[in-house]
Amino acid sequence: MASSARGILVKTGWLLAVAATLLAFRLLAGALTAHHLAQEARSELALLRAGQPLWRWTFTTTEDLVAGRAFGHADVQAVDDGLRITSRDGTPFDLGLPIARGLDLTHWPILHLDRRGKEPVTLSILWQAPGSATCASAPMTWRDAHLDLDLRAIDASAPGTERCALPANADMLRLRLTVTQGQELVLRTASLLAADPHALVPTPQDLVGSSARSSGMAVPIVRLPAAASAEQMLARRDEAVAWRPAAIVIADGTSLAGSPAGPMPSWLSWVGAVAYALALLVLSRRPRPALPTLLAGMLGPLVLIAGLQWGQRPSVPAVIALGAALAFVFRIQHKVAPPNWRWVGAWRSASWWWPLAMIPLALSVCLIWGHALEPVQLRRALVYLGWATLQQWLVLGFALGQLEKLLPAAWAVLAAGLLFALLHVPNGALMQLCFVAELAWAWCFTRQRALLPIALAHAACALLVGAGLIGDGLRSLEVSARFFL
């Protein structure tokens, strides 16, 4: 009887731990998102107070242009001080400037351009507001290296209109250039300036007041409920910047006092990545206890993802740290301590197919709470299968084996689910889905020790969720800093 009561108590504690973890994921995601919005707000305020542009493009790689190329007969190549564009036949070509969240051309109407060389270039400016026709200026001659062009003074029109007004929210800005055949142009920077930038800075009363929805404010302060989820905060932010691209969006109760935190020095990132790689090299030479082995293999990926260091363009130190962690895990499993699992295993047994039961469950969730399934490209499906296999190899093939040496089986499964979910910070809803799914997959894995069916189930469920569930509840499948974009 005592043994039965103890078993019930342990199971109840395990279930309570699962429930508490699901709630903690929501709170963690909300706190990280609120912090991110506060950092963005402080950075924007600092730029405004210094009279610096909010929209600035520095051209260092081809990815700094829309689609990474010129639209037309021109070649683009990255050079030391910008992008070298060469006309192939002397016809006009367009360079699209990437826009993250709209451009306020009404309050920031001066386009500043910087290039190398003084050869005359024929230039037109194109812009477009959502749902409106494209506006194009009359061609003009760009002679000097620097150009400050007041868009209010140029002659621009769209089909069916006499003159285009500058929109308060433009989602397209292009440079249309014409140079002689074979001529090279090195584009360095572009930015949008205000005629009187200091007049746009919010007043101290605005910074401490309630949310502002005055249509005349260029930089309104929009405050969000502090208890909102990460998905709700970002959805409200998107609504606010669609109304005013320079809107400052923060969680209620957030202080805008103080200076924004600067980026981590590049040298520190390099030192951290190299030190981590060297430590892994030393640890991989002979068998180590389970805890230091687990920490060594998972520390790099967790710091990168949960530390919000994995952005749209991962840095070289981040890639080194991740690569070192994967190389360490590979060596541990294939040279130091061979694993007790197989890639395929006994596929004829019923337990081999248990992980795939999550696929119809994921489909049911999409059909009940989601929308019509969007088509998935075969290439994306194959890429995601590889990505899912890598994740499960890291979490189940490596981490779970170490956890089983430290914890009872049920708690090792819970810890593996926790690690898997933390690799999806700060996407709160996705963390919760991943945690629940990994609990089921880890339980299956402890019984049949085959990784392939779990990788297949993971990839299929993720593709289904991405095709049918992304919306109000699940913002995206992005993780780390990419989630905020």
Could you write out the DSSP letters of every residue in 248-287? EEEETT----SPPPPPPPHHHHHHHHHHHHHHHHHHTTS-
Q: Are residues 232 and 182 part of one domain?
A: no
Q: Are residues 253 and 165 part of one domain?
A: no
Neighbour tally for 322: CB within 10 Å: 20
Q: Is residue 380 a part of any domain in this protein?
A: no
* Structure confidence at residue 301 (pLDDT): 95
pTM reported for the whole predicted model: 0.90
Neighbour tally for 199: CB within 10 Å: 9
Q: Are residues 237 and 117 part of one domain?
A: no
Q: Is residue 74 a part of any domain in this protein?
A: yes
Q: Is residue 397 a part of any domain in this protein?
A: no
pLDDT digits (tens, 9 = 90+) for 316-340: 999 999 999 999 999 999 887 788 8
Specify the number of domains making up the chain. 3
Q: Token pair for residue 442?
A: 């880890």
Neighbour tally for 55: CB within 10 Å: 22
* Structure confidence at residue 12 (pLDDT): 93
pLDDT digits (tens, 9 = 90+) for 72-113: 999 999 999 999 999 999 999 999 999 988 999 999 999 999
Q: Is residue 315 a part of any domain in this protein?
A: yes
Q: How far apart are CA 390 and CA 455, in angstroms?
A: 8
**Mean pLDDT for back-to-back runs of 10 residues, the chain (485 residues):** 78 95 97 94 92 94 94 94 93 94 93 89 93 89 92 76 81 94 92 92 72 68 92 94 92 83 82 95 92 96 91 87 95 84 92 95 93 92 95 97 96 98 96 97 96 97 95 90 92
Q: How far apart are CA 141 and CA 41, in angstroms?
A: 38
* Structure confidence at residue 395 (pLDDT): 97
Q: Are residues 182 and 295 part of one domain?
A: no
The gap from C-alpha 227 to its chain's centroid, in whole angstroms, comes to 23
Q: Is residue 18 a part of any domain in this protein?
A: yes
Residue 6 domain boundaries: 1-49+196-261
* Structure confidence at residue 311 (pLDDT): 83
End-to-end CA distance of the chain: 56
AA letter at 34? A
The gap from C-alpha 364 to its chain's centroid, in whole angstroms, comes to 28
Q: Are residues 108 and 147 part of one domain?
A: yes
* Among candidate residues 162, 193, 224, the one where a domain is terminated: 193
The gap from C-alpha 84 to its chain's centroid, in whole angstroms, comes to 28
Q: Is residue 458 a part of any domain in this protein?
A: no
* Among candidate residues 215, 231, 261, the one where a domain is terminated: 261
* Structure confidence at residue 159 (pLDDT): 63
Which CATH number does the domain housing residue 155 bear? 2.60.120.430
Radius of gyration, CA atoms only, the chain: 27
Q: Is residue 431 a part of any domain in this protein?
A: no
Q: How far apart are CA 137 and CA 257, in angstroms?
A: 41
* Structure confidence at residue 161 (pLDDT): 57
Q: Are residues 274 and 246 part of one domain?
A: no
* Structure confidence at residue 162 (pLDDT): 58
Q: Are residues 232 and 176 part of one domain?
A: no
